[in-house]
Chains A and B, each alone.
Chain A
Amino acid sequence: MTVLFFFLSLLSLVCASLSSPSAPSDYHERLDLQPLPQSSLLASFNFRSNTSQESFEQRHFRYFPRALGQILQHAHTKELHLRFTTGRWDAESWGPRPWNGSKEGGTGVELWAWIDAVDDERAFAKWITLTQSLSGLFCASMNFVDSTRTTRPVVSFDPAEDHSPASSLHLLHGTLPGEVVCTENLTPFLKLLPCKGKAGISSLFDGHKLFDASWQSMSVDVRPICPEQGECLVQIEQTVDMVLDIDRSKRPRDNPIPRPVPNDQLACDASKPYHSDDTCYPLENTLEKGWSLAEVFGRSLNGVCPLTEGNPETVCLRVPNERRVDIPPEVTETRQADGYTRCFALHPSTPFDLSIPEQEVHSQVPLKERSLHAERTIVGHGQERGGMRIIFNNPSETSPVEFIYFETLPWFLRPFVHTLQATITGHDGVRRQVPSSQIVKETFYRPAIDRKRGTQLELTLSVPAASTVTLTYDFEKAILRYTEYPPDANRGFNVAPAVIRLNPQDNESSPIYIRTTSLLLPLPTPDFSMPYNVIILTSTVIALAFGNIFNLLVRRFVSKEEAAALMAQTLKGRLLGKIVALRDRIRGKTSKTE
């Protein structure tokens, strides 16, 4: 009996130990839809799954993608952030960014990671391993993130709080501003998801629509999380945010050319004096465009992913409560107290579509006030030198805004920090030159080294209330060796966007990130067609100089007569003499016959 009891207890112990690692792993997904001004639609997809630290280390993966997990383990990466972004977020009309910009990257590919290594050199070796592997996994050119595109930001990014205290972490950051993000990056991204785009909100992804968006950003974040109770987890969060132009997305794929509105459908302002049958002053459309998921995304949503745990409310829509939204009858709708958000509980493997018919608009979801507007441009003309101009505008009437400005420049753009100047424009619209130390509180600058390292500049700035600060500095453009130019050399070189981090006023919330647009830098180009000609011509001139001078140095002077005498003794002279004699003889003969 005791033996049996012992055996049973052992069995239960084994069962408990087997089941415990999988207990904390779970999977959530959520889609937030929000119509934005100018008939745009913001769709934020979020997928989150956990696995316990222990099962992660034992390579026991359930929801966590095995391919990515093995890469992270191999490269000793404790925290990873990967961004694929195209397009431009129009902050003027769309307001602040989703997730406060924390799930967004600069145009192209941006990648930063905390790597556990004893020293910087080994951390960099691991980083190269990481970028090479991710490059293969995501079909992106991340293998081009070399030492010139890698920086080590000091204050711009913070690691997650729950890292093991024993590890010595190194932050490395790389950007590829010229990378074109497209479908080949979406497919591996979807493969990391448990439902792999077959069910749940990820079934909406269609490369044609996603990369046709006005702005889109895909992100992958892996970070450790240690809850108050229980063991530590490794969390992977994938998001896709995109702003679709509703009109553009609704066009059928086989007939994508926009057509003018037919005459009889035009709403004309009949009060204008010139209004007639053939002239029309079009009225602004007061009706909000109708749309449905199937129209905008080109597919319908294939139910909820069966692996989702807990709350089945995976799709949420932010429109005013009085707006009519048509949903299938079996789907339950819950409205939240804020008066704008409604969420829908979906059933597994039941197609779901929501549609908003065209209707009169009375109210809009209020957009939050932006805390900072930033713009960065290259000024100057010519291919020899130029200047960078960064404009920060603080719209707040009362409080100054403090933030960190971080930029990486390629080595062939050589900035002159001593030319950094600040001007400030206040309410009165008058530009005043101020000492830059008044605006720039702290500077971290690591200059570039040719072909080895890019420039890294981190500034802590403070912009007073209701004013615009313009920072400028000069730079010089290097000329490269002809093999270092890309095939489209005259297009210019991409300069990575600057990253701006606004520290929150209260210490509770997370920082806000803003990224400027990427820049195009034209460099002077040599003539690619004539390396041989240049080598030959330069060598000729040098040989001429050398030959000329050494000819003078090694020969001796003689008078003209002596020269003739000396000439006669050489083989050449004797030959010439024979020829002359022969010529004279022939001449003599001909003269005789005459």
Chain B
Amino acid sequence: MPVDRRKALVFGAALALRLVLLLLFPSLPDLLTGRVEVSTPVNSFKRLQEGLFLYTRNISPYDGGVFHQAPILLPLFSLLPNSRDFPLPTAVFYSLIDLVNANALITISDSGQSVSSRLYSALRKDIRWDGASIAAWFLFNPFTIATCLGRPTSVLTTSGILYAVSNAVCGNSFNAMLALGFASYLSIYPALLFIPLVILCYDIQVQKAKTPSSATLFALKHFGILLASVAGLLGISALIIGDFGEFVSATYGFQLLVPDLTPNIGLWWYFFIEIFDSFREFFLGVFWLHLAGYVGGLTVRLRQQPLFIITSLLAFSPSSSHTRLMTAVMRYTFFASSALLYATLLGPAFYHLWIYAGSGNANFFYAITLVWSLGLSILLADTIFAALREEWELENPEMRGKDVRQV
């Protein structure tokens, strides 16, 4: 197999950059692990270490308020040497995960599904980057590097999602469902991607096989695979931990009910600090419903571009480790979004003012999270607009480049 030289170069440089950063600034990983922009209570590497410590000493890590991550991570990470004494193996592990993710992105990009799928073929096919450039954009993105060094476990969820998509675009729908099952098992929300992913798989299958099987049957079959893979992983977890109910309430219950309000760049924490107690459950329901609500709308309207739906949905996920994924796959809106830049620069400063300097209060950081969310939503809306416009121009070629209105 011929080795793509550009790809090898990008991968090598990315790996070297990560290791050089680690060697030059040995305290950088611990610093980033403590940053609220990188670590949330459900993916923090420090909490994982605590869970591992308890797990290797035969104390149930879920019988406490610190560890809320999936049980399968415990035996996985206990294979790695103690990261405090030997930081290098963990860093190499996380860098490799980044490379694996980049590889999946290349596969997605090279398949060309984003520009021409079964029902859709983009007009601006030529405006597109090749796989190696996308991998470079992903691997040298400062968000990605910060996440890699901060070592949150959510990168594994990202891998699961990316592999689900890359397998789907290759027509390997069984593996796609397994990977999605893995991602959903690690954190719940990737399950929302099931519908667009199954549409993507179906389109690819129809393209290849030419003899379309029943869509309902196809969806049901894949739903079965997804359920089976999640159930299998849960079964393994029950074998690892023993007490099934305990870990389910400590992981999924924790993610759904948000009892730990540690600040992050999302909107939820401050809202649920300040909300009146009697409305807490109601607004939790509203927020989750809001997240789930986009799946239906986007799927119905953008039926022809399932890959784009997946990309848009990822933008809603809660921390920067996913934002960098979105900026990587996105191709239409390439505008440097000043709102995001503003939030990126001022966020850490305002957090410092609140927590350390004491010269600002919680509203400073809260305001930045508002700006960040606003910036993201505008960016997303722009992307969706671009996709819809592209679709419309495809139907009405004479309208290309003209002013349009939405009614």
Q: Taking beta carbons and an 8 Å cutoff, which residues of A are in contact with B?
A: 381-385, 411, 414, 416-418, 445-451, 476, 478-483, 524-527, 530-531, 534-535, 537-538, 541-542, 544-546, 548-560, 562-563, 566
Residue of B273, B358, B377 with most partner-chain A CB within 10 A = B273
Q: Which residues of B contact A553 (CB under 8 A)?
A: 297-298, 300-301, 384, 388
**Residue of B54, B274, B402, B404 touching A482 (CB-CB under 8 A):** B274
Q: How far is the CA of A449 from the CA of B62 in the complex (A)?
A: 9
Q: Which residues of A contact B276 (CB under 8 A)?
A: 531
* B64 lies within 8 A of chain A by Cβ: yes
Number of A-B contacts (CB under 8 A): 168
In B346-405, the 8 Å CB interface with A consists of 354-356, 358, 361-363, 366, 370, 373-374, 376-378, 380-381, 384-385, 388-389, 392, 399, 402-405
**Residue of B54, B59, B273 touching A479 (CB-CB under 8 A):** B273
Residue of A nearest to B46 (CB): A416
- Indicate if the CB atoms of A416 and B50 lie closer than 8 Å: yes
Main SS at interface, chain B: helix
* B123 lies within 8 A of chain A by Cβ: no
**Residue of A448, A544, A552 touching B385 (CB-CB under 8 A):** A552
Q: Which residues of B contact A566 (CB under 8 A)?
A: 407
Q: How far is the CA of A209 from the CA of B273 in the complex (A)?
A: 44
- Indicate if the CB atoms of B363 and A527 lie closer than 8 Å: yes
**Residue of B66, B261, B270, B354 touching A414 (CB-CB under 8 A):** B66
Q: Which residues of A contact B373 (CB under 8 A)?
A: 541-542, 545
Q: How far is the CB of A550 from chain B (nearest CB, A)?
A: 6
- Indicate if the CB atoms of A549 and B407 lie closer than 8 Å: no
Q: How far is the CB of B315 from chain A (nearest CB, A)?
A: 10
Q: How far is the CB of A241 from chain B (nearest CB, A)?
A: 38
Q: How far is the CA of A55 from the CA of B100 in the complex (A)?
A: 78
Q: How far is the CB of A56 from chain B (nearest CB, A)?
A: 39
- Indicate if the CB atoms of B262 and A479 lie closer than 8 Å: yes
Residue of B nearest to A490 (CB): B358
- Indicate if the CB atoms of B377 and A548 lie closer than 8 Å: yes
Residue of A nearest to B65 (CB): A450
- Indicate if the CB atoms of A534 and B259 lie closer than 8 Å: no
Q: Which residues of A contact B272 (CB under 8 A)?
A: 481
- Indicate if the CB atoms of B370 and A541 lie closer than 8 Å: yes
- Indicate if the CB atoms of A418 and B52 lie closer than 8 Å: yes
21 chain-A/chain-B pairs, Cβ below 8 angstroms: A382-B355, A385-B34, A417-B50, A417-B54, A450-B259, A476-B262, A478-B260, A478-B261, A479-B262, A524-B263, A524-B355, A524-B362, A531-B274, A538-B370, A542-B287, A542-B290, A544-B377, A546-B290, A548-B377, A548-B378, A557-B405
* B267 lies within 8 A of chain A by Cβ: yes
Q: How far is the CB of A236 from chain B (nearest CB, A)?
A: 38
Nearest 7 Cβ contacts at the A-B interface:
A447-B64, A545-B377, A418-B53, A563-B405, A555-B406, A531-B274, A534-B274
- Indicate if the CB atoms of A449 and B271 lie closer than 8 Å: no
Q: Which residues of B contact A447 (CB under 8 A)?
A: 54, 59, 63-66
Q: Which residues of B contact A556 (CB under 8 A)?
A: 392, 406-407
Q: Which residues of A contact B263 (CB under 8 A)?
A: 479, 524
- Indicate if the CB atoms of B405 and A558 lie closer than 8 Å: yes
* B4 lies within 8 A of chain A by Cβ: no
Q: Which residues of A contact B277 (CB under 8 A)?
A: 481, 483
Q: How far is the CB of A22 from chain B (nearest CB, A)?
A: 51
Q: How far is the CB of B349 from chain A (nearest CB, A)?
A: 14
Q: How far is the CA of A582 from the CA of B392 in the complex (A)?
A: 38
**Given known contacts A381-B356, A566-B407, A451 and B267 CB-to-CB distance under 8 angstroms:** no
* B332 lies within 8 A of chain A by Cβ: no
Q: How far is the CB of B246 from chain A (nearest CB, A)?
A: 11
Q: How far is the CB of B16 from chain A (nearest CB, A)?
A: 30
Q: Which residues of A contact B380 (CB under 8 A)?
A: 545, 549
Q: How far is the CA of A566 from the CA of B36 in the complex (A)?
A: 50
Q: How far is the CB of A391 from chain B (nearest CB, A)?
A: 22
Q: Which residues of A contact B66 (CB under 8 A)?
A: 414, 416, 447
Known contacts A478-B262, A545-B381, A557-B388; 6 additional CB pairs below 8 A are: A416-B49, A449-B63, A481-B261, A531-B274, A535-B274, A554-B301
**Residue of B274, B355, B363, B403 touching A384 (CB-CB under 8 A):** B355
Q: Which residues of A contact B370 (CB under 8 A)?
A: 537-538, 541
The 8 A CB mask of B261-304 against A (1 = contact, 0 = none) is 11100010111111111000000000100100110011011000
Q: Which residues of A contact B294 (CB under 8 A)?
A: 549
Q: How far is the CA of A207 from the CA of B155 in the complex (A)?
A: 63
- Indicate if the CB atoms of A526 and B270 lie closer than 8 Å: yes
Q: How far is the CB of A385 from chain B (nearest CB, A)?
A: 7
Q: How far is the CB of A375 from chain B (nearest CB, A)?
A: 26
**Residue of A448, A550, A560 touching B297 (CB-CB under 8 A):** A550
Q: How far is the CA of A545 from the CA of B267 in the complex (A)?
A: 12
The 8 A CB mask of B62-78 against A (1 = contact, 0 = none) is 01111000000000000
Q: Which residues of A contact B59 (CB under 8 A)?
A: 445, 447
Q: How far is the CA of A410 from the CA of B50 in the complex (A)?
A: 18
Q: How far is the CA of A385 from the CA of B36 in the complex (A)?
A: 12
**Residue of B64, B356, B366 touching A534 (CB-CB under 8 A):** B366
Q: How far is the CB of B76 from chain A (nearest CB, A)?
A: 17
Q: Which residues of A contact B287 (CB under 8 A)?
A: 542
Residue of B nearest to A443 (CB): B57
**Given known contacts A449-B64, A535-B274, A552 and B388 CB-to-CB distance under 8 angstroms:** yes
Q: How far is the CB of A151 from chain B (nearest CB, A)?
A: 14
Q: Which residues of A contact B65 (CB under 8 A)?
A: 411, 414, 447-450
Residue of A383, A446, A479, A483 with most partner-chain B CB within 10 A = A479
- Indicate if the CB atoms of A479 and B261 lie closer than 8 Å: yes
In B221-273, the 8 Å CB interface with A consists of 259-263, 267, 269-273
Q: How far is the CB of A507 from chain B (nearest CB, A)?
A: 31
Residue of A417, A418, A535, A548 with most partner-chain B CB within 10 A = A418
Q: Which residues of B contact A448 (CB under 8 A)?
A: 64-65
Q: How far is the CB of B355 from chain A (nearest CB, A)?
A: 5
Q: Which residues of A contact B354 (CB under 8 A)?
A: 524
Q: Which residues of B contact A384 (CB under 8 A)?
A: 34, 36, 355-356
Q: Which residues of B contact A414 (CB under 8 A)?
A: 65-66
Q: How far is the CB of A489 from chain B (nearest CB, A)?
A: 12
**Residue of B259, B267, B374, B406 touching A552 (CB-CB under 8 A):** B406
Q: How far is the CB of B161 from chain A (nearest CB, A)?
A: 20
Residue of B nearest to A384 (CB): B355
Q: Which residues of B contact A416 (CB under 8 A)?
A: 46, 49-50, 66
- Indicate if the CB atoms of A557 and B290 lie closer than 8 Å: no
Q: Which residues of B contact A476 (CB under 8 A)?
A: 46, 262
Residue of B nearest to A566 (CB): B407
**Given known contacts A384-B355, A552-B381, A553-B301, A530 and B274 CB-to-CB distance under 8 angstroms:** yes
- Indicate if the CB atoms of B377 and A549 lie closer than 8 Å: yes
- Indicate if the CB atoms of B362 and A560 lie closer than 8 Å: no
- Indicate if the CB atoms of A481 and B271 lie closer than 8 Å: no
Q: How far is the CA of A548 from the CA of B384 in the complex (A)?
A: 10
- Indicate if the CB atoms of B275 and A560 lie closer than 8 Å: no
**Residue of A449, A527, A552, A560 touching B361 (CB-CB under 8 A):** A527
**Given known contacts A414-B66, A449-B64, A538 and B402 CB-to-CB distance under 8 angstroms:** no
Q: How far is the CA of A525 from the CA of B362 in the complex (A)?
A: 7
Q: How far is the CA of A545 from the CA of B404 in the complex (A)?
A: 22
**Residue of B36, B275, B362, B376 touching A535 (CB-CB under 8 A):** B275
- Indicate if the CB atoms of B362 and A526 lie closer than 8 Å: yes
Residue of A nearest to B259 (CB): A450
Q: Which residues of A contact B64 (CB under 8 A)?
A: 446-449
Residue of A nearest to B376 (CB): A545
